[in-house]
A and B are shown apart, each in its own frame.
Chain A
Amino acid sequence: MSVDQKVLRDVNLTQEEYDTVCRQLGRQPNALELQIYAVMWSEHCSYKSSRVHLRRLPTRGERVMQGPGENAGIVDIGDALAVVFKIESHNHPSFIEPFQGAATGVGGIIRDVFTMGARPIALLNSLRFGELSQAQNRRLLRGVVSGISSYGNCMGIPTTGGEIQFDEGYTANPLVNVLCLGILRHKAIVYAKAKGIGNPVIYVGAGTGRDGIHGATMASAEFNEDAQAKRPNVQVGDPFMEKLLLEACLEAMKKGLIVGIQDMGAAGLTCSSTEMGARAHTGVDLDISKVPLREDGMTPKEIMLSESQERMLLVTEHGREADLQRVFHKWGLDSVVVGRVIAEPVLRVRHGEKVLATIPNRFLMDEAPVYERPMKAPAYHEDPLPDLPKTNVEEALIKVLRAPSVASKRWVYEQYDHTVRTNTLILPGGDASVLRIKGTAKAVAISVDGNGRYCAAHPGRGARAAVAEAARNVACAGARPIGATDCLNFGNPEKPEIMGQFCEVIDGMADACRVLGIPITGGNVSFYNETSGRAIPPTPVIGVLGLIEQAARAVTPWFKDDGDVIYLAGAGRVSLGASEFLKTIHRLTAGWPAACDLQAEKAVQELCIRAAASGLVRSAHDCSDGGLLVALVECGLAPEALNGMTLDLDAESAGAATIDAALFGEGSSRVVLSVRPGDEENNLLGLAGSLGCPLKRLGIVAPNALRLKWAGRKVVEVPMHKLSSAYFNALGECLG
């Protein structure tokens, strides 16, 4: 069909896609319909580049009550309770306006969780920035952190954990991934379905403005320059409004007044009404003259595409509108009927009586384009590494402890309220966040992890390592992993190398999840993280959820008492390739990360979980960024006390030939444990033996200083307070 190419460019559709639209409809779409198609078929909403690959991820498991496809995944935790959780990216908006971008990212993921009927109880985030030596990156970090903190804190949802890494590759493309976790009773699940023909479709929350309207629209010729200057499309978050929505929605759900609900997130009213109809095999008939507007003179297109925050679309039973209104009114909110559920499975948009658009749901969703984009195997870095000059261990240790990716993130997490709701048993600073479930003996643990440097060097290994690390963090706390959510951050999928990375990452994740028995219940894909042709390192971020049957048995990473015996558990291989040591000490990005042996990983996790359950270990900490020595030092830096240690390592016990590789090499499947000498120690050794998990004695907890021998020779003796100030103060010194 012939169509103005400029029109297609503005809405970001190809000629072939336009032809498909015409074939589906049997006619040309009108201007509004074209806009609706364009947003629904955008990468963000349709997953057209990733869908064929995502199918390879394992999504089923005994405990999975809801896999991908709804607003968030649901995993059973027993006692008729379930956890609802999901991670989402807000990368592009955070680059444009870090405070609002990050804040609205938090707002969005919270809505995804409470719309399922859950009370959100924790937030986590995974952040990536360019190096902090550049003022621009410091500004982005400060803005993002205060955006997250202002939104989460106001909502009264604790931000209990996360991770941050710095790499030059994120300079013009910071990543902001946020995860929300909620708890619900099985019976209370609410789905995003527009069920019940004739039921009213109701709009609640903030008024609709022009914010967030598709960039394409902004660039069209409708606004003159001055108007553009006055009408930015930055979305502004209102956490207080969201708090009202949260409480009002949960109250309405409890009263059985909500049949189905979805938040108006990306592509706003268009996406929520189409998806809710499609899931219920019904249609939604909207009268946009009823939509509460915040600005004058908004066009139908603007109303349908607005991404104003803190808005929900819901369906109630016919006849209960007044009851619903009463609940919302109590919270100071208006609820407005803007449409009806209809039998015809279409999205129909009217303005009063006048029909403006009619599109069958399936065209917008199931029959949206799916691409098998061309792929090219990623260009790997050279392996093996060049010869490296000798290093002084103490100097290197302090430098690595001060490296922003390794150093304590206390400057960041002190800005997050992490104790509200009084469930947080293990505060930020540990491996996983641990939250008790009031009214039961249980706790859940959750950790988000990913390593772009590993994935850039070797996407498959990096992806396996990311799943393994998140799961291991949870296992260290004593929790058994029961589900995962993932956020896949990549460059432009139209480039074959990027698709190649994506494909290898998916395979690596799928492999790790299958072997470790962790189903993926939802996630998010963020492509086009690219500026001036330069893509970010491929960055899958995995959030793993674990369950602890006895909350009182949760294990922290920190050494407890002098004389406790320190062990390295696990048969993990290490490599200096792509390590923090190589980057910080030798200013090199080279080599491959160690391959993760998933059977060894499974064994060490099993050891941690069982040892915790039977109260055998006093502490457990995973070795990740920075390697074994950093992990050991971290074990000595409890929030309120310092513990020293006396260590006697060699190539055999540390699992590497050279001292640098042993102390600073990185790899999966390794955990530092401490145990009381005597019976408990013997029992731990017995348990490890029966699980086939190696356990190497490294030394004992001892007062005040780190004392380290390598193959019998003394190499380091340094007071813990010196290490503590390097580790805890580094980030604050950069950021002020």
Chain B
Amino acid sequence: MRFGIVVFPGSNCDHDTYHVVKHVLGQDAEFLWHGERDLRKSDCVILPGGFAHGDYLRCGALARFSPIMQEVAAFAKKGGPVLGICNGFQVLTEAGTLDGALLRNASLRFICKQVHIRVEKTDTPFTGLMKPGQVLKIPIAHMVGNYYADAETLKKLEGDGRIIFRYCSPKGEVDPDWNPNGSMGSIAGICNRARNVVALMPHPERASEPEVGSEDGLDVFKSVISTFEEVIAGGHS
């Protein structure tokens, strides 16, 4: 499977994501420069973490004006799997592809630490191999990850089952004590209506090898690979 990893000038988790899909999982991977319009036949597009354009204005606000984003939008519209990680989540909300917005953490400080998230839905390309209620240990590293949506949007997200991950205790309890950044409903990740665009604030690529403390993030990438392989297999049968 071929992963395309979008590189904005201020992306800084692009190499980490590449490392995981290419070296840990042995897949094809390509960097997609934000100024270009070619997705290079990617089967899955990842918007990695970082500070796309410095992000001094609002995180991710300027990224949607990059030429590659039109292609990413078209790819998503056709049902292609798109994953936003951290800054990628911010970019997707600013672009209107995902609902809501990310505000500054309630503590107003940058937070880098291991957190736990509970898998709420497994019917997306990035959670297919997980079990509902499963707890993943994955680090966060952000200043602006406090998920916000107005009451109506929130209700819609809940109703459609589009809340994919919530912050929780190591045992899976969702409560304010285990919400690191003030996100509404402890939301750590959501998807779009068609469920092919998923984004989360935690960094699965930083939890994909045992030596860095957790392998729980690997399932995010493995899931999309397995979905892809099923499609291929289905296509041949």
Task: Give me the interface of A with B, judged by CB distance under 8 Å.
Answer: 146, 149-150, 153-156, 238-241, 243-244, 247, 330-332, 413-425, 427, 436, 438, 551-552, 639-640
Separation of A417 and B112 alpha carbons in the complex (Å): 5
Expressed in whole angstroms, the minimum distance between the Cβ of A204 and any Cβ of chain B is 15
30 A-B contacts (beta carbon < 8 Å): A153-B51, A153-B110, A153-B141, A239-B51, A240-B9, A240-B51, A240-B53, A240-B54, A243-B9, A244-B10, A247-B9, A330-B33, A331-B9, A414-B109, A414-B113, A415-B109, A415-B110, A416-B110, A416-B112, A419-B112, A419-B139, A419-B206, A420-B12, A420-B16, A420-B49, A420-B141, A421-B15, A422-B19, A422-B20, A427-B213
Q: Which chain B residues in 105-135 approach chain A with CB under 8 Å?
A: 109-114
- Is there contact, CB below 8 Å, between B212 and A243? no
**Are B112 and A418 closer than 8 Å at their CB atoms?**
yes
Q: Is B209 on the interface with A (CB-CB < 8 A)? A: yes
Q: Give the 5 A-B residue pairs with the shortest CB-CB distance, closest first.
A: A156-B12, A240-B54, A417-B141, A422-B16, A415-B110
Report the interface size for chain B: residues with CB under 8 A from the other chain. Answer: 36
Whether the Cβ atoms of B54 and A415 lie closer than 8 Å is no
| B112 and A415 within 8 A (CB) | yes
Q: How far is the CB of B93 from chain A (nearest CB, A)?
A: 20
In the complex, whether B50 has a CB less than 8 A from a CB of chain A is: yes
Contact A422 B209 (CB under 8 A): yes
Residue of A nearest to B170 (CB): A640
Cβ–Cβ < 8 Å partners of B109 in chain A: 146, 414-415
Chain B residue contacts of A156, Cβ below 8 A = 11-13, 50-51
Q: Mark B131-147, 1 if CB is under 8 A from A, else 0.
A: 00000000101010000
Nearest CB in chain A: distance from B75 CB, A: 23
Q: Is the CB of A640 within 8 A of B114?
A: yes
Is there an interface contact between A422 and B56, defined as CB atoms closer than 8 Å? Answer: no
Q: Is the CB of B19 within 8 A of A438?
A: yes
- Docked complex Cα distance between A418 and B111 (Å): 10
Interface 1/0 per residue, B174-192 and A, CB below 8 Å: 0000000000000000000
CB pair A244 B9 closer than 8 Å? yes
Instruction: Establish whether residues B211 and A552, one from each chain, have CB atoms under 8 Å apart when the complex forms.
Output: yes
CA distance A714 to B9 in the complex (A): 62
Known: A239-B54, A420-B16. A436 touches B112 (CB 8 A): no
A145 CA / B54 CA spacing, docked (Å): 19
A418 to B139 CA separation, bound complex (whole angstroms): 10
Task: Give the interface centre of A413, A422, A436, A639 by most chain B CB atoms within 10 Å.
Answer: A422
With A414-B112, A420-B16 known to touch, is A240 a contact of B10 (CB < 8 Å)?
yes
Taken together as a complex, chains A and B put the C-alpha atoms of A424 and B111 apart, in Å, by: 16
Cβ of B64 within 8 Å of any chain A Cβ, yes or no, is no
The residues of A that contact B114 with a CB separation of less than 8 Å are: 639-640
- The answer on a CB contact under 8 Å between B13 and A240 is no
Q: How far is the CB of B136 from chain A (nearest CB, A)?
A: 15
- Residue of A at shortest CB range from B56? A240
Q: B12, A155: Cβ atoms under 8 Å?
A: yes
List of B residues within 8 angstroms of A155 by Cβ:
12
Chain A neighbourhood of B56, CB < 8 A? 240
Q: In the complex, what's the smallest C-beta–C-beta distance from A436 to chain B, in angstroms? A: 7
A182 to B54, CA, bound (A): 22
Instruction: Tell me, rounded to whole Å, the shortest Cβ–Cβ distance linking A174 to chain B.
Output: 20
B53 contacts across to A, CB distance below 8 A: 240
Q: Known contacts A419-B206, A422-B19, A422-B205; decide if A332 and B9 are in contact (CB<8 Å).
A: yes
Interface residues of B in 199-221 (CB under 8 A from A): 203, 205-206, 208-209, 211-213
The complex places the Cα of A413 from the Cα of B11 at a distance, in Å, of 22
Q: How far, in angstroms, from A39 to B96 measured CA to CA in the complex?
A: 52
Q: Which of B62-120 contact A (CB under 8 A)?
A: 109-114
From A419, A427, A438, A640, give the contact of B203 (CB < 8 A). Answer: A419
Q: With the chains together, A238 CA to B55 CA distance in Å?
A: 11
Query: Closest residue to A411 on the B side, CB-wise?
Result: B109
B54: chain A residues at CB < 8 Å are 154, 238-241, 243
Determine how close the nearest CB of chain B comes to the CB of A236; give it in whole angstroms: 12
- What 1/0 mask marks residues of chain B from 24 to 57 whose CB sits below 8 Å from any chain A CB? 0000000001010000000000000111011110
